[in-house]
Amino acid sequence: MHAPSAPILCSFANSDELVESLAHFIIKAQKESVQRKGKFTVAVSGGSLPQQLNGLIGKPGVKWDKWQVFYADERIVPLDHEDSNHNLCTTHLWSKVTIPKENVHTIDPNLIDAASASDAEDALEEIADAYEKELIHEFANKDSARFPIFDLILLGVGPDGHTASLFSGHPLLSEDDRWVAYITDSPKPPARRLTLTFPVINHAARVAFVASGANKADTLQTVLDKPEEGLPASRVRPITPGQVYWFVDDAAASKVQYPRTPFEVK
Ligand SMILES: O=C(O)[C@H](O)[C@@H](O)[C@H](O)[C@H](O)COP(=O)(O)O
């Protein structure tokens, strides 16, 4: 196993520049992946991220039919529920682009109904297992890696430093076997969620965090300048040649000492 490489921090003067640069970064990653293997595997999360992807809308360089999308985390609610990350992404992105419906891999809606009808953890286990199988179907046989290698995982960071549904102090932070796990005790509602685990996130070819606004300044300072504090977002350190990027605005980076890397569109 190779050592993780240091995060690359790209900070932009405002939200428009961030959104546009992020779109260029994603398109470049997509081109490389499609050239190499004919598809682009992506994981996305919720929060403000889907809106920050709107620089992709209408860009001819985006080959939506080559995308295979999974959710980095999802809430255990019906897919059209206001808390669903799939619903959020559909509203802000999928409904505005030509991605084939079958290329967006949701948690199984039939299993959600069963889980909603009961408090039993078995139903959540079943949802997590089914989603893991969906991933195995996409990634297995391609190489012998123990974990899937996403081309790109897009994440946000919460004020408490959580990312996906990986929260500080939670036993799930030490999960080293499963690809997908469920939680029933998310400190932020809704309590019942599904998440990709750290080994999956840290095997990705690229992980890009997106964060904006002054209310993220303290969090980013801790995550980037004090990784020894071990906030979940600091633990995202893909093994080489994987790389973690931070796409932030200057307001969010205002307290960060960590060196910036100029963003270059090539
Ligand atoms: O866990 C949740 O319930 C949130 O969806 C969360 O993961 C969100 O993505 C981050 O808090 C970042 O939030 P912003 O994208 O709004 O900065």
Q: Read off the pLDDT of residues 246-264 as tens digits, 9 standing for 90 and up.
A: 999 999 999 999 999 999 8
Mutate to test the pocket of ligand 1, among 53, 73, 172 (most ligand atoms within 8 A of CB): 73
C-alpha torsion 250→251→253→259, nearest 10 = 30
- What average pLDDT does the segment 207-232 reach? 98
What CA–CA distance (Å, rounded) separates 193 from 183?
Answer: 5
137 Cβ below 6 A of ligand 1: no
CB contact at 8 A, 210 and 248 = yes
Nearest CA-CA partner of 25 in 244, 253, 252: 244
- What average pLDDT does the segment 207-226 reach? 98
188 Cβ below 6 A of ligand 1: yes
183 Cβ below 6 A of ligand 1: no
Q: Ligand 1 mean position to 173 CA, how many Å?
A: 18
- What average pLDDT does the segment 197-208 reach? 97
Q: Ligand 1 mean position to 123 CA, how many Å?
A: 25
Q: Ligand 1 mean position to 217 CA, how many Å?
A: 15
Residue 94 has pLDDT above 70, yes or no: yes
Domains of the chain: 8-249 (3.40.50.1360)
Residue 129 has pLDDT above 70, yes or no: yes
What CA–CA distance (Å, rounded) separates 27 from 207?
Answer: 14
Q: Ligand 1 mean position to 157 CA, how many Å?
A: 6
Name the pTM for this structure.
0.97
- What average pLDDT does the segment 79-107 reach? 98
pLDDT at 2: 66
Convert the pLDDT of each residue in 10-65 to its tens digit. 999 999 999 999 999 999 999 999 999 999 999 999 999 999 999 999 999 999 99
pLDDT at 1: 56
How are beta strands 104-105 and 206-211 bridged, if at all?
unpaired
